[in-house]
Amino acid sequence: MMPSSSSSSSYSCSSSSSTSSAFLLSLLLLLSVPLLFFLAPRLLPPKTLPSIPASDETSDLALFRRAILASNSSSASATSLRLPHRRTPKIAFLFLTNSPLHFAPLWEQFFHNRSRLFNVYVHADPSIKPPLPPSFSSPSFAGRFIPSKPTQRASPTLISAARRLLAFALLDDPSNAYFTIISQTCIPLHSFDFMYRSLLSRPRRSYIEIVADDPGLYTRYIARGDDAMLPEVPFERFRVGSQFFALTRKHAVMVVRDRRLWKKFRMPCLRKMRDSCYPEEHYFPTLLDMQDPNGCSGYTLTRVNWTDSVEGHPHTYRPDEVRPELIWELRRSNSTYSYLFARKFAPECIDPLMQIAHSVILKD
């Protein structure tokens, strides 16, 4: 029996409707692909930790260029036969802090009557209010705060802050001969005179820890991705070490001038590698070991106690631990040199530290 014309018409309409629906669905899927690519980064959690803002990079680059030009000009003048310059060498103390400088009173005692031999520069995270203890008048720290930018752990912002400090110190005074990084939890272990002689009475070299056999070296190396550091930094040239160092002026200029390695170390770490991401402990030892290993000691002059570290933080000394015996123990090293600084001390330690400042800490 032949189908009726009405049945045929109904079948034709149904078929046409199905075809139109399929076409419309395909078109929508096709149009959604670019939309998905556009929205995915905003909807999904990022795979990397935060990176350095482009504006910070731009302003830092301008600062570094000025520091390099000034250092080149200063070096040319110092070596000129017509204009010899004999300056008294100074130590630049570069305070890198993300909390108030609770130990400023102790450092003030350390600096007392030595103003012609040192300069202070402070990079304080902009969120710190106030950066110095209330009601504390400090001639050594007053006016020594440089323009600062936010810093955070597990990011290259700490490298940027240290380089910023180096650049400002290079620009500020051609007499700065050593540049030593100090944190808000650091204290001096000797008098200023002892420290000054220790750095300047022997051949100039940088005191920076450089380690090539750390158990977690490879994990740290791939924190930005398996091949992210290549070709500039092959694994066999990758080093780790403490971020607390004392650099010669030559090496300070070298750090500020660097662009080649910085483009690798400024890359953010993968989120899944957060526990291995300590850029400030990687960049400086790798750079200096690649460019001038013979000019570096391979060890730091800042004592740290890692015996009971927690989440990557070293032991924090409490007030009941502050005794003369602790200072004497912290000074000792397994070599012929003495440690000059130590960390990490809780803010509450300021009172017991001040009690033994003149009788122990600043007495050699």
Looking at residue 23, its pLDDT comes to: 62
Within-domain flag for 161:
yes
* Residue ranges for the chain with pLDDT beneath 50: 1-3, 7, 9, 11, 40-41, 80-84
CB 316 within 8 A of CB 185: yes
Q: Contact, 249 vs 170, CB < 8 A? A: yes
Residue 7 belongs to a domain = no
CA distance 163 to 284: 10
Asked if residue 349 belongs to a domain, the reply is yes
Structural domain tally of the chain?
1
Whether residue 203 lies inside any domain: the answer is yes
Q: Convert 278-304 into a string of H (helix), E (strand) and C (coil).
A: CHHHCHHHHHHHHHCHHHEEECCCEEE
Residue 20 lies in a domain: no
Q: Express each pLDDT in 154-191 by its tens digit.
A: 899 999 999 999 999 999 999 999 999 999 999 999 99
What pLDDT shows up at residue 201?
87
Would 64 be classed as within a structural domain?
Answer: yes
Q: What is the pLDDT of residue 11?
A: 47
Predicted pLDDT of residue 14 = 52
Neighbouring-strand partners of residue 178: 91, 248
User: Does residue 31 form part of some domain?
Assistant: no
Asked if the structure places residue 364 within a domain, the reply is no
Domain extent at residue 161: 54-74+87-356
The single-letter code of the amino acid at 137 is: S
